[in-house]
Amino acid sequence: MSRQPAGLWPHSPHDLRRTELIDPGYPFAGASAWLPHGFDLVDRVLTRFSDLFRTAGYEEILLPTLVNEEILERQAESIKDFRRQLYFVGSEDSRQVVASSIEAQVCGLFAGWVAQGRTPPYRVFCVRTVGRHETSTPRPLWKERFVWPFFEAQVAVPPGSRPGGHGGADGFVSDLDFLVRGPQQVCLDIGLPTFAVERIYDSTAPKLYADRRLELVTILPNGEITILTSVYDLGVRFSDTFGVRYDGASMPMLNFAFSARLVLALLQHSGTVTGPRFHPDIAPIQVGVIATRSDDEDVASGIVRDLLAHGVRACAFVTGSGVGRRCATARELGIPVLLQVSSAERAPLGSWVRLISGERPREQDRPTPLGGAVALARETLRVEASRNGAVRSAGREPSPADPPSAALMGDGDLAELVGLCHRSSCVDETLRRARRDVIGRPYRWGVDTRRCAVCGVETEAAVMLGRKIRGEK
């Protein structure tokens, strides 16, 4: 099984198994099994996104994994043919397809709602496993054959409206804006810096699948760029194909999606020399209580009970040879705060607790009596979350008042903004001759006036260039 990109944690599939996140070889390569600790982490991430969409008026649905082949044939004839990228099951005269996305399936649901007289807009989201026919070597979480989690949302609005232009969900300017800005805030809240961009295309290339594609991308610690979420402005392609019509006209649609790749990027941004260090809000275990000696188990367990009673996710570490080994075990699980405890009654402080990992509050440099353990842990989590947010914010996109390069991460010139006007000839020339990957135009973030890199005219339009992870489309 191939290794992850150089310089990033996890360095190999073994790291993912050792830290109890996934088993990348079970039941087979390309269909990873999520272990309890990893599932807990991902469940907390998914809960953040699910809460966001529910608050914005989206309804959760669950669609079957298998789809009639006839549905994909209709999509192939009038939109785009993905059938070579799919898995088929069943006999030749009755074949089913392992679903790879939501668009075609959900059209049947929307058409039924129209027939029932339900008033649009329709907004739904779904989390499930999808199948992707990967012919190259699988890479855990990045290139899987059966992908979980796969989170999708779909919007259909009344004819005459544009999903990108009418009043949107939860107070956003539009549904399109919500599908970019809402997930972007969730990413920032869990320690994942992002840039919102819109893809540019060669003027001669037909837009078979969508009118526009907007993405959240992140610059990984090694300077490479990967896509986290995608938003497709589908127009009325799917409505025309599958008969989703309201008041006699086809309904415009939007699609949003992210996969396990977002989780992998989160792991890579959380990586340290010794393993991950998760944001306190999503860490399955927020505080690890390390026993100084094996006979400190009762004290460690008592502190864990106190922390749990105060809403802090905590676990005691009492096995293993010595404090160092117990700390290493806890660090492998991505625990952001570690406390060491001792019940040495003869010591000057008696039984004590001290901070050994996490962003240390300045006033807590020395061992503390056991009665201060909960306060020490909660304050350290608060400071750790603040520190984590500040570090991650260094990789967010600039505000209109920032210089364009102020928030770009990466070494040297791995990522930068260059001027690019809207002339199709300049766009086409950039796509053909750029020495780095063309990431996309900034979506609603401040760009200073500069000269177009192709024609030299002054413009406020720009494009982000960088280096994508190998194999990224």
Contact 262, 190 (CB under 8 A): no
Q: What is the per-residue pLDDT for 4?
A: 45
- 330 has a pLDDT exceeding 90: yes
- 23 has a pLDDT exceeding 90: yes
Q: What is the per-residue pLDDT for 9?
A: 80
Sheet of 337-342, strands arranged across? 314-317, 287-291, 337-342, 352-357, 368-369
* Angstrom distance (rounded) from CA 443 to CA 10: 31
For residue 244, give the amino acid letter.
V
What is the maximum alpha-carbon separation in the chain? Answer: 84
Higher pLDDT, 273 or 15: 15
Q: Tell me how far the alpha carbon of residue 328 is from its chain's centroid.
A: 27
Q: Tell me how far the alpha carbon of residue 1 is from its chain's centroid.
A: 23
**Which stretches within 296-346 are classed as H helix?**
297-309, 323-332
Query: Averaged over 333-359, what is the pLDDT?
Result: 81
How would residue 28 be classed by pLDDT, with cut points 50, 70 and 90? confident
Q: What is the per-residue pLDDT for 166?
A: 41
Higher pLDDT, 42 or 415: 42
* Angstrom distance (rounded) from CA 301 to CA 316: 6
Place of tokens 């982490």: 41
Q: Is 441 helix (H, G, I), strand (E, B) or coil?
A: strand
For residue 356, give the amino acid letter.
I
Q: What is the per-residue pLDDT for 163?
A: 61
- 401 has a pLDDT exceeding 50: no
**Which stretches within 348-467 are classed as H helix?**
373-393, 424-433
Least confidently predicted of 126-130, 176-180, 358-362, 389-393: 389-393
**If you compute the radius of gyration of the chain from its CA atoms, what whole number of angstroms results?**
25
Per the DSSP assignment, residues forming a β-bridge with 458 are: 451
374 Rama sector, left if φ>0, alpha if ψ -120 to 50, beta otherwise: alpha
- 382 has a pLDDT exceeding 60: yes
pLDDT tens digits, 271-298: 887 788 999 999 999 999 999 988 899 9
173 Rama sector, left if φ>0, alpha if ψ -120 to 50, beta otherwise: alpha
* Average pLDDT of the residues of the chain: 84
Across 27-41, 153-167, 365-379, 401-415, the highest mean pLDDT is recorded for: 27-41
According to DSSP, residue 160 is labeled T
How would residue 345 be classed by pLDDT, with cut points 50, 70 and 90? low
Calculate what percentage of the chain has a pLDDT beyond 70.
86
Contact 42, 168 (CB under 8 A): no
pLDDT tens digits, 152-189: 999 999 998 766 544 455 545 689 999 999 999 999 99
Q: What is the per-residue pLDDT for 419?
A: 92
Domains of the chain: 13-270 (3.30.930.10), 287-387 (3.40.50.800), 416-466 (no CATH)
According to DSSP, residue 202 is labeled -
Q: From residue 385, how far is each of 196, 246, 264, 366 by CA, in Å?
A: 23, 47, 20, 22
Contact 141, 263 (CB under 8 A): yes
- Nearest alpha-carbon partner for 121 in 88, 168, 69: 168
How would residue 326 be classed by pLDDT, with cut points 50, 70 and 90? very high
Q: What is the per-residue pLDDT for 102?
A: 82
What's 63-80 look like in SS3?
Answer: CCCEEEHHHHHHHHHHCC
pLDDT tens digits, 73-98: 787 777 776 767 777 887 777 788 88
Q: Is 108 helix (H, G, I), strand (E, B) or coil?
A: helix
Contact 146, 30 (CB under 8 A): yes
Q: What is the per-residue pLDDT for 367?
A: 84
Q: From residue 414, how far is each of 113, 221, 222, 271, 463 by CA, in Å?
A: 48, 11, 10, 20, 14
Q: From residue 77, how far is each of 66, 85, 232, 369 by CA, in Å?
A: 20, 16, 20, 72
The answer for residues whose C-beta is within 8 angstroms of residue 181's C-beta and 6 or more apart is: 172, 196, 444
- 251 has a pLDDT exceeding 90: yes
CA angle 123/127/128 to nearest 5° reads 135
Q: What is the per-residue pLDDT for 404?
A: 36
Q: What are phi and psi of 439, to 5 degrees?
A: -85, -45
Query: Averaged over 2-18, what is the pLDDT?
Result: 71
**The model's pTM:** 0.89
- 7 has a pLDDT exceeding 80: no
Query: Averaged over 446-457, what is the pLDDT?
Result: 86
Place of tokens 């009038």: 78
Task: Give me the DSSP letters along 234-248.
Answer: EETHHHHHHT-EETT
* Angstrom distance (rounded) from CA 178 to CA 181: 5
